[in-house]
Structure 1
Amino acid sequence: MMKQGFSLSISRRTITLVGLVLTTALVGACGSDNPTTTTPQPPRGILVLDGFIQPGLTFLGDTGTASTKLALGPSTEFDAGGFTLERDTVLAVSSRGAGDLLYITDVRASTFRRLQLPPRSNPSRARLFRGSNGQSLIAAALRDSSAIALVAVTGAGTPAITRIPNAGLCPTDMFQYDNATWVVDANANCKANYAVQGDVRLIRIPNTGTTRDTINVTGMRGSGASALVIGDVAYLSAGGDASFASFPYTLLATGSVARIDLRNRRVQLTRQMPAGSYGAGTKLGLDGFLYVSLYENLSAFAGRILKVRADDLSFVTNGATPFLDLKSAAGAAVNCGSGQADAFGRLHCIQNGTGSVTSLVVFSPAFQEVRRVLAGQGGVDMALRP
């Protein structure tokens, strides 16, 4: 992923990591301008994933400057562009170029375990699942195998891995709903060059029986598609399509976010990202709004954030453009990457500066910077512990 203050060659796989910013806590708020009925609480902590240079997790508190670092391995074995936080468990995967690995971190104990996924399977994302017998499982989307891996882990023993085959051309995410596994298919040639082949699809694979359903999300393009689920609604996001064969790069399609009615299996709304932008990494804020991280354009790769209402996917703006106008304490513009707001509406995001040194930056509900703390090096994603 392109970082501020860090230079590297551009590849389609590298850029598609914009779409891999993963969902954190899922809550039932609907993202309106009405105040919530419960008393907001500060997050229990903040996690920042350093995906390159010094791969690992940095743990921070809601106040102060203290932090702790959990190293996850060398960059040759860890290249995750994002992570999933569920019930104090962090899940991250490394692609085929870094060994097809699954990382399971216990946030409370600050320990992790590394497991081998099927070789050359090119995993995209992992989530906690529940087996038909109540067994705890970890699901991983295997892009190059067109399958979903179901990993059963018992103690320190060897994990047992089964597969759901024929899960799309390039499965990049999955979730469980109504006795079925739902697979987000990026519909891209992930085995070769990540070239987009068509619109993103959502495939319903029932736990029993053979009848499958496919929802085509018209106009949604991107090889890093993902989902987050709130009740009976899934929000799909994909970062768009572009050619990186030579500079200047060519944008073929902007990213988008879609609202899917799971009960009736239909697309309710689709919102395109601002013209010229690339990316659509989507998180659910603890205030009930969606926060979308993306690049403003394909020339400067300035990281920007959108605040989106969950009910109608409209943008909440505080300036002349759809992007949030974030200001430093001195009034200067601030660009940053992966972001999420807490229950008070305070946006937290990460920024990579000189030498890719990462800072966690916190903004007031008026989007003025109120806190900045070092958070490792090579940051690619963050999440709040609700």
Structure 2
Amino acid sequence: MIPQVRSRSSIRSRAFAVTTAALLSTIAACGDDGINNSTPQPPRGIIVLDGFIQPGLTFLGDTGSASTKLTLAPTTEFDAGGFTLLRDTVLAVSSRGAGDLLYVTDVRTSTTRRIQLPTRSNPSRARLLSGTGGQTLIGAALRDSSSVALLSFAGAGTVTSTRISNVGTCPTDLFQFDNATWIVDANANCKVNYAVQGDVRLIRVPNTGTTRDTILLPGLRGSGASALVDGDVAYISAGGDASFASFPYTLISTGGITKVDLRGKRVLTAKRMPANTYGAGVKLGLDGFLYVTLYQDLASFTNRIIKVRPADLSFVTSASADWLVLTGATGTAVTCGSGQADALGRLHCIQNGTGSVTSLLVFSPTGTEVRRVPANQGGVDMAIRP
């Protein structure tokens, strides 16, 4: 999930702040929610995260131009560059610079609960986990604490918190699988300057016992690493390594995706993003393909979206480029970020125009614009709610 470009200085700060979604990160609709429909149906709606100016969620239908805005927070306490959606719950976090906060939104009722996370823990991403006894359980990766917070509560009741400690240098994401919590360690100096220290790691922490497993992901680098889980396979992505000390910025290594067999605890295959690109925010389309959002380069910061086959991580290319070639309603080329396809293969993405006014764009399977609708202002991420 990549926010739309506002300025080079904004890109630099977001790249360092890494809400990967900041440069991707992230993700978004994880798990298999809505993936296994036997008969493809159009989505029930789209959610857009307005990350700056007027932070909040914009809810859009699959047709028409009507929208509903839910304000989340003032700009002084909100810097999320992405969110996660599972069924009817949206989770977003603010980093240490904006108060170390977690926002839990019930999409059905458009209500949000604001939860304080440990001070200066610098949360990266939150995930809805499987609770017990009617409790909601949320995990939040705390970059500056080398830990994961597990938050449990019922309704509006008191939140109880526990920790999984010593889970890497900079934990940025997590998920549950087979009686264990798996943590993505970006292996970067997130406390100071987000400088990459080495390859991304996947750490398995069992629910019982003390034996942990660490899976090294060779060649995968980036301080905004994230996970997307589908069945017993995880796709771990990271945006790459770059220096933003001065302009022109310097690309050290491109981003990539690594496919991991969770049962076998082994790497299946890996794919690097095209030369000169930066970012690798991965979404699972409802058509079964992966959609990767990245920047074409570190000079123009042009948004591009690549369609990827999950089986072998090969690109679905056009005749002229690795990324999707998208055409506007007037026949001109257009670009957008944070892309995800619905079950009919229609790509949905967002674009920020003058004054950061956001539009949701929808393209046919052949890449022609079929819909453009206002989505408020300051959009940084979107997801389809099936």
Match of residue 22, structure 1, among 18, 27, 40 = 27
**Aligned length, in residue pairs:** 381
TM value normalised by structure 1: 0.95
Structure 1 gap ranges (5+): 31-35
- The amino acid that maps onto 2:31 is L
Deviation at 1:20, TM superposition (A): 1.8
SS of residue paired to 2:24: helix
Mapping of residues 33-182 of structure 1, within 5 Å = 38-131=38-131, 135-182=135-182
1:153-208 CA-to-partner distances (Å, cap 9, x unmatched) read: 22323211110111111000000011100000000010111000000000000011
Mapped to 2, the partners of 1:380 and 1:28 lie a distance apart of 22
Preserved contact between residue 4 and residue 351 of structure 1 (Cα < 8 Å) = no
Deviation at 1:22, TM superposition (A): 1.7
Mapped to 2, the partners of 1:267 and 1:155 lie a distance apart of 39
Residue 206 of structure 1 is matched in structure 2 by: 206
Mapped to 1, the partners of 2:220 and 2:69 lie a distance apart of 37
Residue 216 of structure 2 is matched in structure 1 by: 216
Deviation at 1:136, TM superposition (A): 2.9
Mapped to 1, the partners of 2:207 and 2:308 lie a distance apart of 33
1:110-144 CA-to-partner distances (Å, cap 9, x unmatched) read: 11110101111000111111246674300000000
**CA 1:360–1:107 in 2, change beyond 3 Å: closer, same or farther?**
same
Deviation at 1:7, TM superposition (A): 6.0
Preserved contact between residue 187 and residue 201 of structure 1 (Cα < 8 Å) = yes
1:61-97 CA-to-partner distances (Å, cap 9, x unmatched) read: 0000000100001111111010000111000000000
- The amino acid that maps onto 1:69 is K
Residue 33 of structure 1 is matched in structure 2 by: none
SS of residue paired to 2:4: coil
Preserved contact between residue 45 and residue 61 of structure 1 (Cα < 8 Å) = yes
Preserved contact between residue 287 and residue 344 of structure 1 (Cα < 8 Å) = yes
Residue 4 of structure 2 is matched in structure 1 by: 3
- The amino acid that maps onto 2:49 is L
Residue 334 of structure 2 is matched in structure 1 by: 334
Mapped to 1, the partners of 2:192 and 2:291 lie a distance apart of 31
Deviation at 1:54, TM superposition (A): 1.0
Preserved contact between residue 2 and residue 301 of structure 1 (Cα < 8 Å) = no
Residue 349 of structure 2 is matched in structure 1 by: 349
Is 2:375 the partner of 1:384?
no
**CA 1:29–1:321 in 2, change beyond 3 Å: closer, same or farther?**
farther
- The amino acid that maps onto 1:279 is G
Preserved contact between residue 6 and residue 356 of structure 1 (Cα < 8 Å) = no
Deviation at 1:376, TM superposition (A): 1.2
1:8-64 CA-to-partner distances (Å, cap 9, x unmatched) read: 44234246521322220533999xxxxx98221011110000101110000000000
Preserved contact between residue 142 and residue 148 of structure 1 (Cα < 8 Å) = yes
Mapped to 2, the partners of 1:8 and 1:188 lie a distance apart of 21
Structure 2 gap ranges (5+): none
SS of residue paired to 1:76: helix
SS of residue paired to 2:245: coil
Residue 194 of structure 2 is matched in structure 1 by: 194
RMSD between superposed Cα atoms in Å: 1.7
SS of residue paired to 2:337: coil
Deviation at 1:318, TM superposition (A): 2.4
Mapped to 1, the partners of 2:246 and 2:278 lie a distance apart of 16
Mapped to 2, the partners of 1:351 and 1:37 lie a distance apart of 29
TM value normalised by structure 2: 0.95
Mapped to 1, the partners of 2:24 and 2:7 lie a distance apart of 19
Mapped to 2, the partners of 1:329 and 1:77 lie a distance apart of 38
SS of residue paired to 1:24: coil
Mapped to 1, the partners of 2:51 and 2:325 lie a distance apart of 27
SS of residue paired to 1:137: strand
Residue 13 of structure 1 is matched in structure 2 by: 16
**CA 1:301–1:14 in 2, change beyond 3 Å: closer, same or farther?**
farther
- The amino acid that maps onto 1:172 is T
Preserved contact between residue 131 and residue 152 of structure 2 (Cα < 8 Å) = no
Preserved contact between residue 29 and residue 287 of structure 1 (Cα < 8 Å) = no
